[in-house]
């Protein structure tokens, strides 16, 4: 997802789907515009210089808090709303989809009822 920032476009903060370990470093690199090599190098150097446990803890906390990158680009507000609801609560997103498809099913059922009634057949024959 892209958004406007001071005249340019900037990618939103997501965990990358094709990162090495949970995609946190690659997601941060894509968000900040830095090469992923440098982000990973900084993380490894921080681990070697005595920050091993804090870096590991921070990495996994970031992996839990960051949403995974959408599979398809988000083009409009409806897509963004659905993706946000899906990543925060899959149950709610599935219930929303079920309501939409139930509504479509009722509409199709009403059309089928109208087309298969006897009056429809007579109306069609009379207007030929």
CA quadruple 8, 71, 60, 92: dihedral positive or negative?
positive
Closest CA to 86 of 12, 78, 11: 78
Q: Higher confidence at residue 23 or residue 11?
A: 23
pLDDT, tens only, 17-39: 788 888 899 888 888 888 989 99
- Residue ranges per structural domain of the chain: 1-71, 89-128
Indicate the pTM of the whole model. 0.53
pLDDT, tens only, 76-114 = 887 777 777 777 776 777 787 888 899 999 999 988 887
Query: What average pLDDT does this structure show over 60-78?
Result: 81
Counting Cβ atoms within 10 Å, is residue 82 exposed (0-12), middle (13-18) or buried (19+)? middle
């Amino acid at each position: 997802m892209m958004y406007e920032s001071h005249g340019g476009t900037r990618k939103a903060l997501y965990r990358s789907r094709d990162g090495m370990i949970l995609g946190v470093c690659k997601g941060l690199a894509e968000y900040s515009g830095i090469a992923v090599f440098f982000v990973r190098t900084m993380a490894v150097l921080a681990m070697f210089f005595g920050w091993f446990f804090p870096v590991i803890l921070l990495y996994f906390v970031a992996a839990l808090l960051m949403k995974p990158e959408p599979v398809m680009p988000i083009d409009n507000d409806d897509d963004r709303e659905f993706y946000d609801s899906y990543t925060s609560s899959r149950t709610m997103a599935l219930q929303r989809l079920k309501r939409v498809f139930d509504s479509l099913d009722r509409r199709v059922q009403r059309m089928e009822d109208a087309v298969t009634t006897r009056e429809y057949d007579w109306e069609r024959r009379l207007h030929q």
